[in-house]
Amino acid sequence: MKNIGVILLCLALSVSCGRYLDQSPHDGIPSGEITHEHAELLVTGLYNIVQYKPTFNGWALFDLIGGDIVRTGATSTNTPELMVESAIAPDMSIVTSPWNGYFAGLYQINTVLDYVKRLPDSAQKNSMKGTCHFFRGLYYYNMAARWRSLPIIKTPSGGEEQKQQSEENVWEFVAEEFDNAMRLSPEFTDRNYVSAEAAKGLLARTYLAMGKKSEAVALAEELISDSRFGLSDFQDIFRGNPNNEEIFSFANLLQEGKVNMSSYYYTKDSGVGGSYNFCPTQEAIEMYSEKDKRRDVSIAYQGNNPVLNKYCGGDAGRDPIYVVRLAEMYLISAECQGLEKGSDRLNELRRFRGLDDINPSDEEEFLDAVLDERRLELFGEGFRWYDLVRCGKYTSVVDVDEKYTVLPIPARELTLNDNLHQHLLWQARMP
């Protein structure tokens, strides 16, 4: 590509960070003449690209097929099992739209990173590289959790990188990306900007997925002990108030956001509108006790209709996309330390949320308690399906075939790319 004017035009006008909203794109800059200023605009534009490319399906999938959410008004999909079986197939949009979005966004991340690498060395360059690695790691984490075995594409052209890599190699790449982001990114200043601490949180999440428990605990505990962060009231977190709990969230502003979370969960009777495509199951509603301070922000009723209440913008607005919060670090630390040492962290979080301490009798009971707490704490934030999958509990909690523990690669991609191979669970169980 000899001229980046088109990229600058697209990205500079769709930025997420307010300090650039009043700047105009340049008319066309030869790649050899790109400056730190130009690169900063490109990197800032990635905030918007990374938000909307996966689509609503990308951000909400783990909730939609995690057993706690069903479709509204459709008897054919009004149980978790029917919801999963009707939604997951190689040609369904819940599978294809995130796949397309991740790889389209990945091309743009790689393109921007390629330009940034050409700049003279500086602290500013390192910061921009850190943001690119953070976003690439976030995309690959979500892709690894869904499809497991994938191509690892690090350049705009792809080329030989189209070859499918093993699940182990993909997870190692995710960890490497967050490690790079942690080393290169600036320290935390704002929840809507990439920081070393945000990368640390996602690396802890990655180590949990990889089974590297001691590494996950160390990073989670560093964030818990960081005086800049602290557990906060749900009203503050999910109603846009100042709080110390959000480590990184996409602002997803109305003038730029294309992922309208609450519209899918809110009803027309909400006062701000909504299409009400999905609603909590009765079991999900009943999991919150009256003492739980999270209950009213997590679950509400609009008329007789139960709604997921963390996202409240409706048709009229947009809500943040919450990527990493401090409460998750408590839960990662608890799970990875096990019953003897992890109970303190688990109960510390429970007490803050208004609940009594619990005392599981063995490791299996403790893991179930942690998963229950993750369910309460992170409901609607994109965790439930993969939590159950990685712990080997999905098919027992949601009564579906084992093939639904991994997503099928879209059928069209298998036709277009001979390097891709469908997962064995789907090869053996295609309808």
- pLDDT tens-digit series, residues 364-414: 999 999 999 999 999 999 999 999 999 999 999 999 999 999 999 999 999
> What is the predicted pLDDT for the residue at 353?
98
Predicted confidence at residue 20, as pLDDT, reads: 28
β-pair partners for 324: 248
CB neighbours of residue 281 within 10 Å: 17
**Whole-number pLDDT of residue 90:** 96
* DSSP element (H, E) containing 114: helix 93-117
Q: What is the pLDDT of residue 2?
A: 37
Q: What is the mean pLDDT of the chain?
A: 91
pTM for this predicted structure: 0.93
If you average pLDDT over residues 202-213, what whole number do you get?
Answer: 98
Tell me the C-alpha to C-alpha distance, in Å, between residue 50 and each of 109, 135, 140, 161, 252. Answer: 8, 7, 12, 21, 10
Distances (CA, A) of 104 to 158, 250, 302, 382: 12, 19, 37, 21
pLDDT in tens, 237-262: 999 999 999 999 999 988 877 899 99
Put residue 354 in one of left, alpha, beta given phi > 0 → left and psi -120 to 50 → alpha. Answer: left
**pLDDT digits over 6-61, tens only?**
344 344 434 333 332 233 333 345 656 789 899 999 999 999 999 999 999 999 99
- Cα 34 to chain center, whole Å? 32
Element (H, E) at 376: helix 363-377
How much is the average pLDDT of 313-329? 95
pLDDT (tens digit, 9 = 90+) per residue, 127-143? 999 999 999 999 999 99
Whether the predicted pLDDT of 269 surpasses 60: yes
- Summarize the confidence of residues 200-211 as an average pLDDT: 99
Instruction: Tokens for 135, please give them.
Output: 């976003």
Instruction: Give the whole-angstrom CA distance, residue 215 versus residue 157.
Output: 34
Q: Which two tokens stand for residue 110?
A: 């790689």
CATH number among 1.25.40.10, 3.40.50.1100, 3.40.50.20, 1.25.40.390, domain 5-236+322-429? 1.25.40.390
Q: Which helix (H) or strand (E) holds 6?
A: helix 5-12
Residue 122 and residue 36: Cα distance in Å, rounded? 9
E strands, 46-186, where? 69-71, 150-151, 164-165
Q: Which residues pair with 301 in a beta bridge?
A: 306
Task: Please list the residues that pair with 176 across neighbouring strands.
Answer: none
pLDDT confidence of residue 257:
73
A 10 A CB-CB count for 90 gives 17
pLDDT for 192 = 97
pLDDT at 76: 64
pLDDT of residue 212: 98
Average pLDDT over residues 263-291: 96
Question: Mind listing the pLDDT tens digit for each residue in 65-87?
Answer: 999 999 998 666 689 999 999 99
pLDDT tens for each residue of 148-179:
999 999 999 876 668 899 999 999 999 999 99
Residues 6+ away with beta carbon under 8 Å from 3: 28, 29, 30, 31
Least confident of 166-170, 291-295, 315-319: 315-319
Mean pLDDT computed over 110-137: 97
For residues 239-274, one letter each, b for 16 or more C-beta atoms within 10 angstroms of the residue's C-beta and e for the rest, the string is: eeeebbbbbbbbbbbeebbebbbbbbbbbeebeebb
Q: What is the pLDDT of residues 333-348, one digit of tens each?
A: 999 999 999 999 999 9
- Please name which of 298, 299, 297, 293 lies closest in space to residue 351, comparing C-alpha atoms: 293
